[in-house]
Amino acid sequence: MIPIRKVFTPEQVQQIRLHLDEADWQGGEITAGQQARRVKHNQQLPQDGTLTQQIGDLILDALARHPVFISAALPQKIFPPMFNRYSVGETYGSHVDNAIRVIPGTTIRLRTDLSATLFLSDPDEYEGGDLQIEDHFGSQCVKLAAGDMILYPSTSLHQVMPVTAGRRVSAVFWLQSMVRSNEQREMLFGLDQSIQSLTSLHGHEHQDVTRLSGVYQNLIRQWADA
């Protein structure tokens, strides 16, 4: 799990929420698969709605400029963001995301390697509603500041705990990475972060920076599906 901090500033989140809070929401079970429909109890914006597409484009534009996201995800295809809202008593029970998704209005299929939740409500706006993700180290509860995002493997069993007060608003989407393996992506991310740290200390021309950059690029060349 990798947090992607400050995708949006508080001011940008406020502007987004002004539009989302006035939107017409529908039952979230509409886009759930047969199994997920039994445990999905939330609200959702229509996928083909103008507002969904406009704010979704803002998210994708912001992420395209976010170096940590690019380094962690190595995105190849991205499913357009969807918007969920959880009011009191609403929840999304334990499930694993669909392995294959078709981008609406197209015949483009993508393999869901990574899942993303962009929080659009601050933690003090609601109680409950934690994103609970199972990983090798047990269950991890995630509740980030508005404008922050969590990126995690789509193979993970996860759920949104019931909201007990307030409202939880978020954007969710999935992506297919150029590198399918979670383990390989993790190694590449760690290597890239080390290269960035060394570069800030010694500059691009330092021999260790040049050497490690070459290793990184050759691993990408070996593992990536361009």
How far, in Å, CA of 100 to CA of 87, rounded? 29
Contact 80, 104 (CB under 8 A): yes
Instruction: Identify whether residues 155 and 128 lie together within a single domain.
Output: yes
In tens, the pLDDT along 21-65 reads: 999 999 877 665 556 667 889 999 999 899 999 999 999 999 999
Q: Are residues 65 and 168 in the same domain?
A: yes
Residue 204 is labelled as binding a ligand: no
168 among the known binding-site residues?
Answer: yes
208 is in an annotated binding site: no
152 and 201 in a single domain? The answer is no
Q: Any bridge partners for residue 115, and if so which?
A: 152, 174
Same domain, 186 and 137: no
Number of separate domains in the chain: 2
Q: Dig out the tokens for 122 from the structure.
A: 């601050």
Chain segment 140-159, per-residue pLDDT in tens: 999 999 999 999 999 999 99
Between the CA of residue 78 and those of 26, 66, 121, 178, 210, what are the distances in Å? Answer: 23, 15, 23, 11, 31
- Expressed as residue numbers, the domain containing 13 is 2-177
**167 and 188 belong to one structural domain:** no
Indicate which CATH number applies to the domain containing 202.
4.10.860
Same domain? For 113 and 197 the reply is no
| 95 annotated to bind ligand | yes
pLDDT digits (tens, 9 = 90+) for 66-112: 999 999 999 999 999 999 999 999 999 989 999 999 999 899 999 99
The pTM score is: 0.90
| Same domain, residue pair 145 and 208 | no
Answer with the one of 162, 177, 192 that is the final residue of a domain: 177
Picking from 174, 117, 175, 186, the residue whose alpha carbon sits closest to that of residue 146 is 117
Residue 70 sits in a domain of what CATH number?
Answer: 2.60.120.620
